[in-house]
A = this chain, B = another copy of it.
Amino acid sequence: MSTPVKRRTDPERAQNRRNQVLQAAAVCFARSGFHAASMSEISKEAGMSAGHIYNYFDNKDAIIMAFVDLHAEDVLTNLSELDSLDDPLQSMIDNAHEHVARRLDPNCSDLPMEMFAEATRNPKIAEALQAADRRVGDRFRPIVKREREKRGLPIDDALLDGRINTMVALFHGLPIRAIQRPDMNRDSLVEGYRLVLKVLLLG
Contacts and interface: CB of A to CB of B under 8 A. Distances in A.
A87 B22 CA distance: 51
B179 A165 contact: no
Interface in A146-195: 158-159, 161-163, 165-177, 179-182, 184-185, 187-193, 195
Interface in A103-118: 106, 112-114, 116-118
A11 interface: no
A191 to B, nearest CB: 5
A117 B114 contact: yes
A52 interface: no
26 contacts: A30-B120, A33-B35, A34-B117, A106-B120, A116-B175, A117-B117, A119-B179, A120-B179, A126-B179, A129-B180, A158-B187, A159-B188, A162-B187, A162-B189, A163-B192, A165-B177, A165-B184, A166-B170, A166-B189, A169-B170, A169-B189, A172-B172, A172-B173, A172-B176, A195-B200, A195-B203
Q: In the complex this chain forms, how many copies of it are found?
A: 2
Nearest to A137: B181
A175 B126 CA distance: 13
B120 A162 contact: no
Contact of A116 (B179, B185, B196, B199): B179
A155 B115 CA distance: 38
A158 B195 contact: no
A130 interface: yes
A39 to B, nearest CB: 16
Contacts of A168: 173, 177, 180
Nearest to A32: B121
Contacts of A192: 162-163, 165-167, 200
B165 A33 contact: no
Nearest to A132: B180
A133 B170 contact: no
